Amino acid sequence: MIAGKSKDRARIPPPESPSRSSRRYDSSQPRTDISNAFSESVKVEVARITGASCWNCSIPDPEFAHVVAQKDSQAPYWIQAGLFPFSFKTAINCITLCPTCHSAFDRYSDPCWVFLPTNLAFFIKWEMEDQARRAQVAVPRTVPTIAKYRDHFASQGLVSHDALGGLYQGYFLKDFLHPVCNSSILEILATPKVWHGHPMAAIRRGIAILGSARCYTLDRTTIDQLTTLRRLYFDDKNLIAKRLAQIYHNPPADHKRKRGDDESNHNNRKSLPTDTDNHGTVQGAHDIGDAQGAHHACALPDHSFVDIDAHNDFYASNNWVLGPNATGNDAINRYAPLFQSIDTVRLLN
């Protein structure tokens, strides 16, 4: 069965509570985002793409949630590593979530829900091949785009070639819908579906939950793959302040010769994996990471000086829906059907 647009999926019956506020997940944890942080034009575009329901549970009247949070203090580090080639203020960093799911998603010190690409091995393989390329010539890192990730599934007949993106799965790290939803509904909510945004934004959230005790709700393969991606992306001395690298990464002088001999023998035994199963891919990722060490990325300025606003402005033009040459008729043809839906009108008001 081909997964199409997210709005085509079956709607899950909403909880019995009729009020919007009563559906909110009760939490003392601060929220990282609020819906009004997106511009009205972004909200209209997201509503056009996804409809007026929660991506996770299909409850109507959702909020517009940031995937890379507005105040993500790690964002400059990811930008420096070349992992965020998109603006955080555009539709590709937005997911529609009901207040309950939004609150669970945005508990940044104790997240209770997350969504991830269903094929993390695809990203591991991509990064391994990209590291090998960067080891040969000094070029910037590349990461899979929305289209590349979608095409990976389209080639297998799992999504249509004009789907909005690849497949993602939501994970409950805490059963906060109990007793409203029974086990059969939770199984339906775990069904992979299309998300229109940038896959690296979802991976950012996934790697973040590795620091949570709740991460073991995930299956072991997913945890291992996220751990491997974190190592591939960030085990790089070019991303560490030089003074800190000198203090923590330089071995004592009397151990340098022995360590050098051991590493030489160890690296001589390494080769790229030939199998495509999860274990082989993860193990191969560890091998190539060891072999290339700190040589696979170009040195960049200290991450504390990354200008987030400049980054967003630079990539925003690449994510224009209606560019400077668009006409009023273009906007009418694109968005007029939206306002025929009462749910959409309520969502945007």
Taking only the tens place, the pLDDT of each residue in 26-80 is 444 444 444 458 999 899 999 999 889 999 999 999 999 999 998 899 999 999 9
**DSSP states of 108-144 as a string?**
TTS--EEEEES-HHHHHHHHHHHHHHHHHS-------
Q: Which two tokens stand for residue 276?
A: 């495509």
Give yes or no for residue 135 having a pLDDT over 50.
yes
Residue 27 has what pLDDT?
A: 44
Q: How confident is the model at residue 310 (pLDDT cuts 50, 70, 90)?
A: confident
Residue 177 has what pLDDT?
A: 86
Q: How confident is the model at residue 195 (pLDDT cuts 50, 70, 90)?
A: very high
C-alpha to C-alpha distance for 38 and 88, rounded to whole angstroms: 9
Residue 242 has what pLDDT?
A: 87
The CA–CA distances, whole Å, from 298 to 15, 74, 295 equal 51, 19, 8
Residues in the chain: 349
CA 90 to chain CA centroid, Å, is 14
C-alpha to C-alpha distance for 349 and 334, rounded to whole angstroms: 19
Q: How confident is the model at residue 272 (pLDDT cuts 50, 70, 90)?
A: very low
Region 203-226: mean pLDDT is: 96
pTM: 0.72
Residue 301 has what pLDDT?
A: 43
